[in-house]
Amino acid sequence: MSEKKNREIVEDDFYDDEDEDTQKDKYLTFQLSSEVYGIEIYHVIEIVGMQKITEVPDMPGFVKGVINLRGQVIPVMDVRTRFCMKQREYDDRTCVIVISIEDTTIGLAVDTVNEVADIPESNVSPPPKIGKGISSRYIRGMGKTEDDVKILLDVNRLLFDEELVSLSNASVSQ
């Protein structure tokens, strides 16, 4: 078989596999205050109701502590605190979205979980460049749906951006 024919078969297989990716362009959406945010669904392990959080000393201010989820100790980040938003009491709608990224499992405390939204890459615009707030640095893009815009988060920056960890700690200690 010719090299050109082999390359065409490999390319066809690649594109077939890409089409079969059922998690592509899917985002778990959740609410903080009146805004709707989304994270890529392939990071999500599960969604659990709020449970007792054990505080751990010397953690960043936005890490509320840890939970015991079926024997696994999972740190819980309060996304409102991470975004320097006004705090609110946890209630029966508050959820913990357990995610995994780069071998790290963490829970994200959010006001409420909405749905899984299908937002094709062609409907994602770059984040606005006018804001200088900490939370705007976590935005991957703006996802346009039929009649709404969802703020799509960069989970990697949300969890691991060291400069933002320092800024968040400074704002919490004030």
pTM: 0.78
pLDDT beyond 60 at 167: no
pLDDT beyond 80 at 153: yes
Please give the sequence-ordered ranges of beta strands (E in DSSP) within the chain, or none if there are none: 26-32, 35-40, 44-49, 63-69, 72-78, 95-101, 104-110, 112-118, 124-125, 139-144, 149-153
Helix (H, G, I), strand (E, B) or coil at 79: helix
Q: pLDDT at position 6, please?
A: 38
pLDDT in tens, 47-97: 999 999 999 999 888 999 999 999 999 999 999 999 889 999 999 999 999
- Domains contained in the chain, CATH given: 22-173 (2.40.50.180)
